[in-house]
Amino acid sequence: MRHMLGFLIIVVSVTLCDAQCWLARIESDAQGCTDENGVLHEFNSKWKTKGCQSCSCSKETMQCCSLIITPVDYDKEKCESIFYEETCSYKVVEKADPSKLCEVHGAVG
């Protein structure tokens, strides 16, 4: 639990390459990086979370960035976005006929 508290000491929201990321400082006596599920990851390791984040661990910091690109500029009257958790992606389809894709003009991630 002590390492988990160290993991949570400093969390900073940053934007890198249009990605939603956060960074946590690691305590000097930590044995690795502890993720939100309490799993300890070795230093210099990388992993993907069930929450669609790509994470990395160094002796100084743990960083995680969202893998999700969210469509924002499309015809919301005619279309809807559907999120696929297994691929961490959205598909924008017509409400009346979900077999037809809609044009997307902009996305954030």
- The pLDDT tens digits for 47-88 are 999 899 999 999 999 999 999 999 999 999 999 999 999 999
Per domain, the residue ranges of the chain are 2-66, 70-108
Assigned fold of 2-66 = Complement Module; domain 1 (2.10.70)
Record the tokens describing residue 19, joined without a space.
């990605």
How many angstroms separate the CA atoms of 102 and 24, rounded?
38
Q: Which residues pair with 106 in a beta bridge?
A: 73
Provide CB contacts within 8 A for 76, sequence distance 6+.
none
Q: pTM of the prediction?
A: 0.68
In the prediction, which pLDDT does 104 show? 97
Record the tokens describing residue 2, joined without a space.
């002590």
With a pLDDT cut of 70, the percent of the chain lying above it is 83
pLDDT at 35 over 60: yes
Q: Which residues pair with 57 in a beta bridge?
A: 45, 62
How many angstroms separate the CA atoms of 30 and 77, rounded?
51
pLDDT category of residue 19 using cuts at 50, 70 and 90: low
Assigned fold of 70-108 = N-terminal domain of TfIIb (2.20.25)
